[in-house]
Amino acid sequence: MRVSSLAESYYSILSTDEIARARTYRSLKALENFVLGRALLRAVLSKYSTVRPEAWSFKLSVYGKPEIVAPNCVRPFQFSLTHTNGLVACAITDGYDIGLDVENAARKVSIEVAHRYFAPSEVKALQATPAERRATLVLEYWILKEAFVKAYGVGLSIPLDAICFEISGTSVNRVSFYDLAEDPVDWQFTLLRPALGYILALAIRRCAIRPLRVVVNSTIPLSSS
């Protein structure tokens, strides 16, 4: 497959393992999303350190979550990557567990998904929501849960109805946990519109400190702009 010139330009900063993984993708779009995501991650980490983008090394945890293994004399960065058609996103924190998920706002998700995976109070809220807003609310619940699962870091062993959200407008007003030893005070959840037509959710385990400031930037990795 012939990738775009932009994606091809990033091969020089990827590891041999990342290049090998990229070559396993059968879909050109999936391949480019992977390459762009890894390039973005390396660029963002280097922006907040003195490490060159090609010098970072990563491994997967036992649950499949990527982690930094080298250099080991840097800040305790935690990160999360996500992508959907047309957008790749990366979030980093200085030591706080973080999860990120994004969807195209036009994606249609059946209400049956809610009955299967959501908490009863979320299903009830959906049923009371005007039809024109309901599809967006389903997506918001879904990506918030996905972001939490990524931040929690133990893979898909957590049932999605173990965490319940109360959303007003674009704000997460309340979160509840069921059968999880978690305190809602320790978590920060944010819904964002990073670009026209996209919805993004961020989950951060902040450990009861004051709310963390979320900064959003749009960029082309390693560009001068």
Q: What average pLDDT values come out for the chain (225 residues) when binned by 10 residues?
A: 75 94 91 94 94 94 89 88 94 96 90 91 95 92 96 89 94 94 95 94 89 91 71
In a domain, 223, yes or no: no
What integer pLDDT is reported at residue 188 of this predicted model? 96
In a domain, 89, yes or no: no
pTM for this predicted structure: 0.93
The CATH number that applies at residue 45 is 3.90.470.20
In a domain, 54, yes or no: yes
Q: Smallest Cα–Cα separation from 136: which of 164, 169, 172, 87?
A: 169
* Direct distance between the N- and C-terminal alpha carbons of the chain, in angstroms, rounded to an integer: 29
What integer pLDDT is reported at residue 17 of this predicted model? 94
What integer pLDDT is reported at residue 121 of this predicted model? 96
> Do 133 and 191 share a domain, yes or no?
yes
What does DSSP say about strands 66-70 and 78-84: parallel, antiparallel, or unpaired?
unpaired
> Do 141 and 68 share a domain, yes or no?
no
In a domain, 63, yes or no: yes
Distance from C-alpha of 166 to C-alpha of 183, rounded to nearest angstrom: 16
In a domain, 83, yes or no: no
In a domain, 190, yes or no: yes
In a domain, 212, yes or no: no
> Do 193 and 130 share a domain, yes or no?
yes
> Do 68 and 105 share a domain, yes or no?
no
Domain that holds residue 149: 100-205
Is there a cis peptide before residue 159, judged by omega within 30 degrees of 0?
Answer: no
> Do 52 and 143 share a domain, yes or no?
no
Q: Cβ neighbours of residue 176 under 8 Å, at least 6 residues apart?
A: 119, 163, 164, 184
> Do 104 and 197 share a domain, yes or no?
yes
Distance from C-alpha of 222 to C-alpha of 9, rounded to nearest angstrom: 10
Strand pairing partners for 92?
A: 79
* Torsion sign, CA atoms 96, 136, 123, 65: negative
> Do 157 and 192 share a domain, yes or no?
yes
Counted domains in the chain: 2
Distance from C-alpha of 175 to C-alpha of 155, rounded to nearest angstrom: 20
In a domain, 222, yes or no: no
